A and B are shown apart, each in its own frame.
Chain A
Amino acid sequence: MSIAIEVNDLHKSYGPVRAVDGVSFTVEEGEIFGMVGPNGAGKTTTIECVEGLRRPDRGTVKVLGLDPQRDGYELRRRIGIQLQEAALHPRLKVWEALDLFSSFYPRRVDGKALLEQLGLADKRNAAFEKLSGGQKQRLFVALALINDPELVFLDELTTGLDPQARRAMWDLVRGIRERGKTVFLTTHYMEEAERLCDRVAIMDRGKIVALDTPENLIRSIGAEQRVVFTVDGQWDDTLLRGVPGVTRVERIGERTVVYGRGEGLVGGVVSALERMGIRFRDLRTEQPTLEDVFLALTGREMRE
């Protein structure tokens, strides 16, 4: 598989602040590559250096074989960009925006079909200022796709969207990849990265602290699973501590949390409870997430 983006030892400072401090990674063609981390971690600076909108202080960037600084115009014909902060004129209509932006490119797709696909067909004649947050984001995605790009950049695509709109956006991004395009996205929602990305780079304070598939990242920290359930009344949990894989048991009022590792953990806990004749309810398991990975790697909670 060939390489879409190659970044080597990227540095970018704003005054005394080292926004990006020695970042290297590659993005392969056809994958959804995510960069996650808290606000201010350097994600947007990195993506904008890759897009050619910012000039790196040091390091090399190659995108589709081009240098984004030197071959910016050529590159921008072949990529699609959705910016974290951007807007259109408040009175510009949806169809006019697509018509205008498509005139900037030698190659373009049918704007009408694109609006149809993004669920904006009935908003064709609406002014930009009349659109909801989700509709504006979808319009920006449409503008990023109008030139049938090989590589799409999505910077904080779902920030400010409600959960339903966010899920719809995820389907959309998967659809982009299914059409053979490469996606490079940033997000500060760990869940989004976990559900959407083939590979994830976790960024903190200008550096990449980990880079792998979400599954590998989660496995790498060896975090415990949790089995959580509720029991009414008094009971003795000694037997539970003997179940293979269990590391500790916490009781908070009627709720019990069993920590442990291994495939058989849930089964072991459930059969132990049944052997003891304890009536439990609301049992669920909690798998470690990228949030736990971030916590394990940085010693800090991800804050939104």
Chain B
Amino acid sequence: MRGFWKLLLVQAKLYLREPIATFFTIFYAPMMLLLFGAIYGNEPSPFFGGRGTMDIAVPSYIGLIIVTVGLISLPIGTAAARERGVLRRFRATPLHPLAYILSDIASYLLMTVIGVLLLILTGRVVFHIRFEGNILSVLAGFLLGTTAFFALGYLIAGLAPTARSAQTVGMILAFIMMFISGATIPLEVLPAKVRAISQYIPLTHVVTLMRGLWFGDSWGQHWKEVAVLVGCLLVGGALAVKTFRWE
């Protein structure tokens, strides 16, 4: 695994040198939280089962960060590195492909974690949000949702002929998912028909799982979400491996 740590560090630095990616990954969700918090506050509401809007928003917005990194940053970064010949240059060294992929995944995971931590911190400090779950359980759910979306992201990069097309596909999918999955607008607010459609959208299952685990649900209550996400991870991951190209 020679090269793994240095590559991880470099990838992370390069990510932070992209102002747009940095903004949407790290600052966008906390900003939304402050904005909607200022509008709705965090008073307990029977509509959310006695929880406040911000209590619901924080675990939901985790899905927002996951989809931003997984379906926008990752496919663009991967396809652009391929298109520019960066991957070709790595292949001409003894860097092992596994070391490359793992450090690539780790760098996107790191960015997602930073974004999520800042979101939770903002919620905690500004709105005193409630947390009723188990930290390890939430962490496991977060890792499942993140890796499932990374698999989809690598698949988009593998299928897209160019970085531009990866960007187009990734952004369209991401923006559709953001608004009808409960990641931005709570599912409870959406009309029944949209809620029905949302069941076919992977991000809905990330949001539902995160919200459930955040408030102490057991994994057994969310077998459906887990099944969908494990499916995305395995099928998406297998297809991503098949479609991955170095040049």
- Residues of A at the B interface (CB closer than 8 Å) are 51, 53, 73-74, 76-77, 81, 83, 85-92, 96, 99-101, 103-106, 143
Instruction: Report chain A residues within 8 Å CB of B31.
Output: none
User: What 0/1 pattern do residues 1 to 24 of B give for CB contact below 8 A with A?
Assistant: 011011100100110011000000
Q: How far is the CA of A191 from the CA of B196 in the complex (A)?
A: 71
Q: How far is the CA of A51 from the CA of B96 in the complex (A)?
A: 16
Whether the pair B17, A91 counts as a contact (CB closer than 8 A) is yes
A-B contact pairs, 13 of them (CB 8 A): A53-B88, A74-B94, A76-B92, A83-B88, A83-B89, A83-B92, A86-B85, A86-B89, A89-B14, A89-B84, A100-B7, A104-B93, A104-B95
Instruction: Report chain B residues within 8 Å CB of A85.
Output: 85, 88
Supplied contacts A51-B92, A86-B89, 18 more A-B pairs, CB within 8 Å: A53-B88, A73-B94, A73-B96, A76-B94, A85-B88, A86-B88, A87-B84, A87-B86, A88-B89, A91-B14, A92-B10, A96-B10, A103-B7, A104-B2, A104-B93, A104-B94, A104-B95, A105-B2
Q: How far is the CA of A106 from the CA of B18 in the complex (A)?
A: 32
Q: How far is the CA of A124 from the CA of B81 in the complex (A)?
A: 22
Known contacts being A76-B94, A83-B92, is A99 close to B6, with CB within 8 Å?
yes
Interface residues on B, range: 20 to 34
CB of A82, distance to nearest CB on chain B (Å):
9
Q: How far is the CA of A87 from the CA of B81 in the complex (A)?
A: 9
- Residues of B at the A interface (CB closer than 8 Å) are 2-3, 5-7, 10, 13-14, 17-18, 81, 84-86, 88-89, 91-96
Tell me whether chain A's interface is mostly helix, strand or loop, or mixed. Answer: loop
Chain A-chain B contacts (Cβ-Cβ < 8 Å), number: 64
Instruction: Report chain A residues within 8 Å CB of B2.
Output: 103-106
Instruction: Report chain A residues within 8 Å CB of B13.
Output: 96
Instruction: Report chain B residues within 8 Å CB of A106.
Output: 2
Shortest Cβ distance from B100 into A: residue? A104
Counting chain B CB atoms within 10 Å of each CB, the highest count among A83, A92, A100 belongs to: A100
CB of B78, distance to nearest CB on chain A (Å):
12
Q: How far is the CA of A194 from the CA of B96 in the complex (A)?
A: 38
Whether the pair B94, A53 counts as a contact (CB closer than 8 A) is no
Whether the pair A100, B6 counts as a contact (CB closer than 8 A) is yes
Q: How far is the CA of A143 from the CA of B93 in the complex (A)?
A: 10
CB of B22, distance to nearest CB on chain A (Å):
12
Q: How far is the CA of A118 from the CA of B84 in the complex (A)?
A: 24
Shortest Cβ distance from A101 into B: residue? B93
Q: How far is the CA of A76 from the CA of B96 in the complex (A)?
A: 11
Whether the pair B94, A87 counts as a contact (CB closer than 8 A) is no
Q: How far is the CA of A100 from the CA of B95 in the complex (A)?
A: 11
Q: How far is the CA of A104 from the CA of B92 in the complex (A)?
A: 11
Q: How far is the CA of A74 from the CA of B93 in the complex (A)?
A: 10
Shortest Cβ distance from B6 into A: residue? A103
Whether the pair B92, A53 counts as a contact (CB closer than 8 A) is yes
CB of B223, distance to nearest CB on chain A (Å):
42
Instruction: Report chain A residues within 8 Å CB of B7.
Output: 100, 103
Counting chain B CB atoms within 10 Å of each CB, the highest count among A76, A83, A86, A105 belongs to: A86
